[in-house]
Chains A and B, each alone.
Chain A
C-alpha cells in the first residue's frame, strides 16, 4: 500500500454499489485541486476493479488498490494535473 503518500481527502463509500461508487468518487474529485490525493473506502468488491478503471479513463492516476479491513478495500488516487 502506498501509505507514504499524504492523503488530502477521504471518502467512505461503504454500502454503495456501482455505478454510485464511481459517481460519488467523481463528484469529490471534481472539487479537489489537481495533484491532490483521495482515499476511497468501499465494501462492494466489484468496485475495486470498476472504480480505478473509470478513474484512469478520466485521466487520474490510481496509486494503489488494496484491502483496508474485513471485506473493505481502499483506492488511492491522485487527481489529474
Chain B
C-alpha cells in the first residue's frame, strides 16, 4: 500500500490521475533527490515546479545574494529578499509552496574539489548556471559519475535545452567541445535577457527531470531544443555522441576535472550576472 497522507492524495491527485504517473510514479518523485545548480533565472522555475511536483529532496547550490536586477526573471525571489542569500530565499519560497519537500541549501560555488561529492548524493542534476566554467565542470563531472544532467542556457530572447544521459547520448562537449574564448559571448549585463525565456527553459528542465525520474516518455537526449522567443520558434537540432569527445568519447583526454577561468570581466554589484550564453547561457 502507498503511504500517502490524505493531504498528499489531494495535493498530487492531478498527477495520480495520469496513466504515466499514478501512485507508483508519485512515490518515485517523493523518493527522488534532485540537485539544482543555480537559483537564478533557470533554477527558479525548475525548482518551483519540482517542489510542486513533490520531489522529496531538492538540493540548491548558489553562492550569490539576491540583487534587485535579478527580480525581472528570477521568480523564486521577492523584493524583500534583496540582499539575502539566494539559497535561503529559495528555501523559503519552496517550503511555502510545499512543506513536504526537503530543501538542502549549499551556499558555495561549485568547483573541481566539491562537485563529485555533491552530485553523488543526487539522482538528477539540473544545470541553471550562468557561466561556462561551471557548465563544463558540471558536464564533465556528471559524465564521470554517470549522472543525468538537464542542461539549459539562455541569452537575450534565445534558449537552448538538452538532457545529457551519460552513455546513452551526447554530452555537452560532444556538441560544444570547448568553451568559447572569454569575451566572445556577451554577458547578460551587456546583452540583456527577456525574463520569460528563463521561465520557458527552466520549466522544460523541470519536465525533463520528472520524465527521467518516472522513466516515461522521451527526453531531449541527442536532441537540442532551441527556442527563439522573439520569432516564436521552437527548433530541434539532432546531436550525436562524438566518439572523439574529450570526456565521453572512446579515448577520453579529460580524465580529471578541469576548471576554466572564464569569469566575466564585468561584474555587477555583487549580482550574479556573469558571463553567459550556451549557444546562449545567461541566468
A58 to B20, CA, bound (A): 10
Q: Given A20-B10, A23-B9, A31 and B2 touching (CB < 8 A)?
A: yes
Q: Which of B1, B13, B24 contacts A23 (CB 8 A)?
A: B13
Say yes or no: A24 contacts B2, CB within 8 Å: no
A59 and chain B: residue at smallest CB distance = B19
Pair B9/A58 contact, Cβ less than 8 Å: no
At the interface, yes or no: A5 with Cβ under 8 Å from chain B?
no
Choice from A19, A31, A54, A58 contacting B1 with Cβ under 8 Å: A31
Whether a CB of chain A sits under 8 angstroms from the CB of B243 is no
Within 8 A of B (CB), among A8-34: 19-20, 22-24, 26-27, 30-31
Nearest Cβ on chain A to B28's Cβ, whole angstroms? 12
Minimum CB distance partner of B9 in chain A: A23
- Chain A, residue nearest B12 (CB): A23
Kindly supply a per-residue 1/0 record for chain A positions 40-58, scoring 1 wherever the CB is within 8 Å of any chain B CB and 0 otherwise: 0000000000000010011
Contact of B9 among A27, A31, A54, A57 (CB under 8 A): A27
Question: Once the chains bind, are A27 and B4 in contact (CB under 8 Å)?
Answer: yes
B270 at the interface (CB under 8 A from A): no
Interface status of B17 (Cβ within 8 A of chain A)? yes
Check A27 against B17 for contact (C-beta < 8 Å).
Answer: no
A22 to B9 alpha-carbon distance, docked (Å) = 11
Determine whether B23 belongs to the interface, using a CB cutoff of 8 Å to chain A.
Answer: yes
Is B16's CB within 8 Å of the partner chain A?
A: yes
Inter-subunit contact A27/B2 (CB<8 Å): yes
| Other-chain contact of B13, A20, A54, A57, A58 (Cβ < 8 Å) | A20
User: Which residues of chain B come closer than 8 Å to A54, judged between CB atoms?
Assistant: 17
Give B8-37 interface residues, CB cut-off 8 Å to A: 9-10, 13, 16-17, 19, 22-24
Given the known interface contacts A20-B9, A20-B10, the answer about A26 and B1 at a Cβ–Cβ threshold of 8 Å is: no
Question: Pick the contact of A27 from B10, B19, B23 — CB < 8 Å?
Answer: B23
Contact A58 B10 (CB under 8 A): no
A30 to B28, CA, bound (A): 14
CB neighbours of B16 from chain A (8 A): 23, 26-27
Instruction: Specify which chain B residues have a CB less than 8 angstroms from the CB of A22 in the assembled complex.
Output: 17
Which chain A residue shows the least CB distance to B15?
Answer: A23
Cross-chain contact A19 with B24 (CB below 8 angstroms): no
Measured between alpha carbons, how far is A20 from B6 in the docked complex, in Å? 10
Question: In the complex, which residues of chain A have a beta carbon less than 8 angstroms from the beta carbon of B9?
Answer: 20, 23-24, 27
Interface string of B230-273 (1 = CB under 8 A from A): 00000000000000000000000000000000000000000000
5 contacts between A and B (CB under 8 A): A23-B16, A24-B9, A26-B16, A27-B23, A30-B2
9 additional A-B pairs beyond A20-B10, A23-B17, A27-B9, beta carbons within 8 Å, are A19-B17, A22-B17, A23-B13, A26-B22, A27-B22, A27-B23, A30-B23, A31-B2, A58-B19
Sorted from nearest, which 3 A-B pairs have the closest CB atoms?
Answer: A27-B23, A23-B13, A30-B23
